[in-house]
């Protein structure tokens, strides 16, 4: 049940009984969940800063991975390299029409290719703010520099070669 439909039931006159039932369910669920430590101000500040770093800088051909603490989908795994296939400035808007969803109105602005267990590539839309350049075993590997992308017109000394 979505929070929209619950609020409709509350407004429709079933408020007291529904609220009591919801509180009981919430208590039962909370009792079964492992207790988590509350985040600190510093952790929150670091996550917020990380969320905004690299926003909108990726180009098709870039190899990227999840930022630590930003994974909100089953694939790819943390540390797994994926290729940027397409960029849509402004994004496509979240897939969920439910304002209570964590994906509601999320700007899905990059399409990435993920290699699935079968070996086939599958394309997914994500919020670019959740990603950073792939580090591999060494330094980040951006395939774009000075605003020049794989398909962009650049001065000869700035031309970036696509990754083979």
Q: Alpha-carbon distance 114 to 122, whole Å?
A: 5
Q: Where exactly are the structural domains of the chain?
A: 57-158
Give tens-digit pLDDT for 105-159: 788 899 999 999 999 999 999 999 899 999 876 554 444 433 433 343 433 344 4
Give tens-digit pLDDT for 28-73: 877 777 776 777 878 878 888 887 776 668 999 999 999 988 898 9
Q: Alpha-carbon distance 8 to 98, whole Å?
A: 13
Dihedral over Cα of 27, 32, 37, 38: its sign: negative
> With contact defined as beta carbons under 8 Å apart, do 71 and 130 qualify?
yes
Q: Alpha-carbon distance 43 to 60, whole Å?
A: 31
Radius of gyration of the CA atoms of the chain, in A: 21
Q: Alpha-carbon distance 62 to 59, whole Å?
A: 6
Give the containing element (helix H, strand E) for 113: strand 110-115
């Amino acid at each position: 049940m979505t929070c929209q439909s619950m609020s409709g039931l509350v407004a429709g006159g079933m408020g007291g009984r529904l609220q009591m039932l919801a509180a009981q369910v919430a208590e039962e669920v909370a009792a079964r969940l492992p207790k988590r430590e509350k985040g600190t101000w510093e952790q929150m500040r670091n996550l917020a800063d990380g969320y905004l770093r690299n926003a909108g800088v990726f180009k098709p051909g870039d190899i990227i991975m999840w930022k630590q603490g930003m994974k909100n989908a089953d694939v790819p795994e943390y540390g797994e390299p994926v290729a940027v296939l397409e960029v849509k400035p402004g994004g496509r808007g979240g897939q969920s029409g439910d304002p209570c969803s964590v994906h509601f109105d999320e700007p899905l602005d990059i399409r990435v290719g993920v290699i699935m267990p079968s070996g086939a590539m599958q394309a997914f839309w994500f919020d670019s703010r959740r990603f950073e350049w792939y580090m591999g075993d060494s330094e980040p590997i951006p395939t774009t520099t000075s605003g020049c992308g794989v398909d962009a017109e650049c001065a000869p000394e700035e031309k970036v070669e696509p990754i083979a």
